[in-house]
Structure 1
């Protein structure tokens, strides 16, 4: 894929992994739309990225109508859509008997419904461009752990959804992959990125991984990628 002037849409693109990927793609000459749930977060991200070849959208991925409106804005602006990264996600961690139904539903709606709604809204455009749909899952999509029942459920679901969607869509020459990171230095789960996170995967590392996927020969599809820190922190 020649990336110059290709158009990408990144959900949850206002910070962390999404923002890191956006920076990487912009550096390669792509046009990038990012979305977030609040006008303030979107505005802050646009300021960090600069205004050239980037637009910010307010969208809750848990609402299909929001994602349809976001895709329409992108098509009105640039006329096409080549790459989608379904990155938006939330995490709440508690023993299953203590996990509230509200937090369960928020994770299901954002992490799982969101990847479906984003694909549902963008698939017609991706068919036209023979584009790429990438989901951001987690190693929690294959490794379960105590206090992770809700989060595990969504990420196991994202992995299964993405792999099945890959089989459905490759006949249209749409590539579909899921990336499953381990510990990443972001603000996820109220983490405060700092020097203590130097051992973790950095957002720009995921950006490079997305770039590698986009530059892969069309005949080859890495459909599920696990990525983890080389040397985990020893507490």
Structure 2
């Protein structure tokens, strides 16, 4: 198994939900972790909850490429390098395609798809130098379409395709790329407050453990696309 202690990771959209669950798992395994988001108060709260000195918070918007370049500068200045990038930031708005607002469409494409591209492009130099790992958090909505999901489906279908193509582009640099496609996850997504009714779902800690398992895997092995579902439905 790969030794991942003291590796440096960058997680976008990590103040809660899946991103926070991944950050927590990485910290517990001895990594130095940078987490980003648009709300500085939420970042400070997450930093306190993670309870580690090896946490760097970055007020950053994945929709802004210059923000991602600045994030790389801050991470390498603080930790000296960057090994692992988790493109997790995402939003969801659901409406019939004829009623979908331009603002909601653009928010999803710009965050869920273009944001993942900006994040990888800005970090690719460090990943190539350090033979790193890029993981995008997609969704089963990236392969299963549903009513009122046109924009969300488009962003996640695109993210799955983007990550798979990036895997082919970067594998000769010994950079791994994986997309994780969760089903129902207990999270704060779309304004939801987790409660006991969510206990049947995948937990953020489960995704965190999956990321740890990927990072520890034999370097000759690359699970490029992973679908994960709850064992049972509600």
TM-score tier after normalising by the smaller chain length: over 0.9
Superposition pairs of residues 206-217 of structure 1, within 5 angstroms: 206-217=207-218
Determine the C-alpha separation between the residues in 1 that align with 2:52 and 2:31.
13
Q: Which residue of 1 aligns with 2:64?
A: 63
Does residue 148 in structure 1 map to residue 149 in structure 2?
yes
Question: RMSD of the alignment, in Å?
Answer: 0.6
Q: Which residue of 1 aligns with 2:111?
A: 110
3-state SS, counterpart of residue 221 of structure 1: coil
Q: Which residue of 2 aligns with 1:9?
A: 10
3-state SS, counterpart of residue 68 of structure 2: helix
Q: Which residue of 2 aligns with 1:169?
A: 170
Q: Which residue of 2 aligns with 1:38?
A: 39
Using the TM superposition, give the Cα deviation of residue 165 of structure 1 relative to its aligned residue in structure 2, in angstroms.
Answer: 0.2
3-state SS, counterpart of residue 206 of structure 2: helix
Post-superposition Cα deviations, 1:4-50, rounded to whole Å, max 9, x if no partner, equal: 11000000011000000001000010000000111111111111112
Determine the C-alpha separation between the residues in 1 that align with 2:119 and 2:73.
12
State the TM-score, normalized to the length of structure 2.
Answer: 0.99
Using the TM superposition, give the Cα deviation of residue 128 of structure 1 relative to its aligned residue in structure 2, in angstroms.
Answer: 0.8
Superposition pairs of residues 61-100 of structure 1, within 5 angstroms: 61-100=62-101
Determine the C-alpha separation between the residues in 1 that align with 2:70 and 2:42.
19
3-state SS, counterpart of residue 147 of structure 1: coil
Using the TM superposition, give the Cα deviation of residue 208 of structure 1 relative to its aligned residue in structure 2, in angstroms.
Answer: 0.5
Gapped regions of structure 1 (runs ≥ 5): none
3-state SS, counterpart of residue 180 of structure 2: strand
The runs of 4+ residues in structure 1 deviating greater than 3 Å are none
Determine the C-alpha separation between the residues in 1 that align with 2:3 and 2:28.
13
Q: Which residue of 2 aligns with 1:185?
A: 186
Determine the C-alpha separation between the residues in 1 that align with 2:187 and 2:178.
22
3-state SS, counterpart of residue 155 of structure 2: helix
3-state SS, counterpart of residue 122 of structure 1: helix
Using the TM superposition, give the Cα deviation of residue 51 of structure 1 relative to its aligned residue in structure 2, in angstroms.
Answer: 3.9
Superposition pairs of residues 112-127 of structure 1, within 5 angstroms: 112-127=113-128
Alpha carbons 2:7, 2:83 under 8 Å: kept: yes
Post-superposition Cα deviations, 1:109-132, rounded to whole Å, max 9, x if no partner, equal: 100000000001100000111000
Using the TM superposition, give the Cα deviation of residue 192 of structure 1 relative to its aligned residue in structure 2, in angstroms.
Answer: 1.6
3-state SS, counterpart of residue 33 of structure 1: strand
Determine the C-alpha separation between the residues in 2 that align with 1:3 and 1:51.
17
Determine the C-alpha separation between the residues in 1 that align with 2:4 and 2:163.
23
Determine the C-alpha separation between the residues in 1 that align with 2:121 and 2:73.
13
Post-superposition Cα deviations, 1:142-198, rounded to whole Å, max 9, x if no partner, equal: 000000000000000000000000000000000000000000000101222111100
Determine the C-alpha separation between the residues in 1 that align with 2:78 and 2:192.
35
Alpha carbons 2:183, 2:229 under 8 Å: kept: yes
Q: Which residue of 1 aligns with 2:202?
A: 201
3-state SS, counterpart of residue 35 of structure 1: strand
State the TM-score, normalized to the length of structure 1.
Answer: 0.98
Q: Which residue of 1 aligns with 2:29?
A: 28
Does residue 19 in structure 1 map to residue 20 in structure 2?
yes
